[in-house]
Structure 1
Amino acid sequence: MSDNAAWKAAKPFVNGGLSGMAATCIIQPIDMVKVRIQLGAKGSPLGVAKDIIAKDGFGSLYKGLNAGLLRQATYTTTRLGVFQVITDKTRIVRDDGVAGLFRGGGPTVVRAMALNMGMLASNDQAKEMIVAAGVFEKGSKLPIIGAAAIAGFFASACSLPFDFIKTRMQKMTPNPDGTMPYKSAVDCAMQTLRTEGPLKFYTGFPTFCLR
């Protein structure tokens, strides 16, 4: 295999990993604020960020960055690279339907699938619609940017409820009697829905969407 052929094969994976790592550096503070809001912090996102900085310093906004970068270097490298290769070679075929994507998955896995479903399903369609509208000149990069923004919105709408449940499951602590507040992700969802209403799952949506 020639050097050019090797680079052509590796390029989608390299670009995917580097772009994911760069995105993590940018969104880490926003993600930290989003988690604090989901856990009950009061005030606007900017106010919550100021409180975090005042109490723990600016560096606390980047707590856990190393783990995030490692995740992007492995998970996103593979995800975006494989997706690009598949997109170049075929149409995607789903044998099991949407329900099959969620079978046997935990909250984190379900969140990842929901996010990708909203993002990947809407990105190409949005780009095609923007180009078809004829608003921008042929060859313009703006349809790509606009489609990415639309895809980000749909990705947030699809995945935030699962992200909310994941956060609560990961951060829950035992009750005074030693029992855990939630028995499972489904139990967490049902308790939240019953006591706090459906809109609770979209707590911090503007911050999450910006992220």
Structure 2
Amino acid sequence: MPEKKGFASAAEPFVCGGSAATFASIIIHPMDLAKVRMQLYGALNPGKPVPGFASILSSLVKNDGIGSIYKGVDAAIGRQLVYGTARIGLHRFISDKMVEYNDGKPINFGMKTLSGMASGSIAVCIGTPFDIALVRLQSDSMAPVDERKNYKNVFDALTRTVKEEGVGALYKGLAPNILRGMSMNVGMMACYDQAKEVVATLLGDPMTNGPGLPTQVGASCVAGFTAALFSMPFDLIKSRLMAQKPDPVTGKLQYGGVVDCTVQIFKKEGPAGFFAGFSAYYGRCAPHAMIILLSIESITKGYRNLFGLN
């Protein structure tokens, strides 16, 4: 029994974090789909105004049916089972170890930031192939009819990408994705941990048995905003690099890499181009972060009760 409890305790942040991330991803998938399409619209339709996410979703439902707004949800689930589990679980594991080395005292924001950056970058390296599949599934119908891949599902997208472009294609956009993962984890996890302490102090919440609901809501609102603000430019660059495919005539890619993509966006779309689709991104990112952060507390309590870890 002690060995079982020891394993359950070690697995707790990963199981609870992955469960919360997957749950949140399913709920906000339509907004994520709209976000990706808004980010790619500028590259496919230069000079034209980017439509809002409500317009994009209504157009999808009208043209392809209600099921179209959940296109690529299998890739989203696969991504969160890998990426979400790793980034949340590793952050909790690393930050808990930091507290131990700090003689059980709360760690400062700088240490929380380091934990968020480390766990975010590691998780991205593990989950990027699923991210590639997700972006391609979501953006394929935007391409001209004769250039569409018509992927059947996440596994079809993964296998065909490797077959047609090589294994390296599964890690296209890795650099901006790492930057996005680091900024997202700092904005979401590190800022949540810090905001939780501040909000608890303001509300007089002792957090004896964990943070109260008002503390959770207040801290998750802050974390949702900072996660979106910190990661938006990197997310846009990542989406552009991951969605690009070789020109059918020349075989060349539109962007030569992170720097070239950044320069082209700045020249053609201006500084505001890095925040194209921010309404959809915030509408996706903030609720996603809040759902994860609110649900993970409840999931963790249930997990601890189940395995007698309280």
Q: TM-score, normalised on structure 2?
A: 0.59
What is the correspondence of 1:131-146 to structure 2 with a 5 Å cutoff? 131-134=200-203, 140-146=212-218
For structure 2, the 5+ residue unaligned runs are 42-48, 99-106, 122-173, 285-310
Question: Partners in 2 of 1:128 and 1:65 — Cα distance?
Answer: 35
- Is 1:200 the counterpart of 2:277? The answer is no
Say whether the 8 Å CA contact 2:232–2:275 is kept in structure 1: yes
User: Which stretch of the first structure deviates more once superposed, 29-38 or 57-66?
Assistant: 57-66
Tell me how large the CA RMSD over aligned residues is: 2.6
- In the superposition, relative to structure 1, how do residues 137 and 122 fare at CA in structure 2: closer, same or farther (>3 Å)? closer
Say whether the 8 Å CA contact 1:175–1:181 is kept in structure 2: no
Question: Partners in 1 of 2:18 and 2:230 — Cα distance?
Answer: 23
Say whether the 8 Å CA contact 1:122–1:154 is kept in structure 2: yes
2:38 alignment counterpart: 37
1:106 alignment counterpart: 175
What is the correspondence of 1:33-112 to structure 2 with a 5 Å cutoff? 33-40=34-41, 42-90=50-98, 91=107, 92=111, 94=114, 106-112=175-181
Question: Partners in 2 of 1:203 and 1:143 — Cα distance?
Answer: 32
- Is 1:115 the counterpart of 2:184? The answer is yes
CA deviation vs aligned residue, 1:69-110 (integer Å, no higher than 9, x gap): 11211222222222212222314485xx99xx7xxx522222
Superposed displacement of residue 121, structure 1? 2.8
Superposed displacement of residue 6, structure 1? 2.6
- Is 1:16 the counterpart of 2:85? The answer is no
Superposed displacement of residue 130, structure 1? 1.7
Q: TM-score, normalised on structure 1?
A: 0.84
Query: For residue 192 of structure 2, what is the amino acid of its counterpart?
Result: N
- Is 1:179 the counterpart of 2:252? The answer is yes
Identity of aligned residues (%): 35
Q: Which runs of 4+ in 1 moved over 3 A?
A: 91-94, 136-139, 175-179
For structure 1, the 5+ residue unaligned runs are none
Query: For residue 210 of structure 1, what is the amino acid of its counterpart?
Result: G
Aligned length: 204
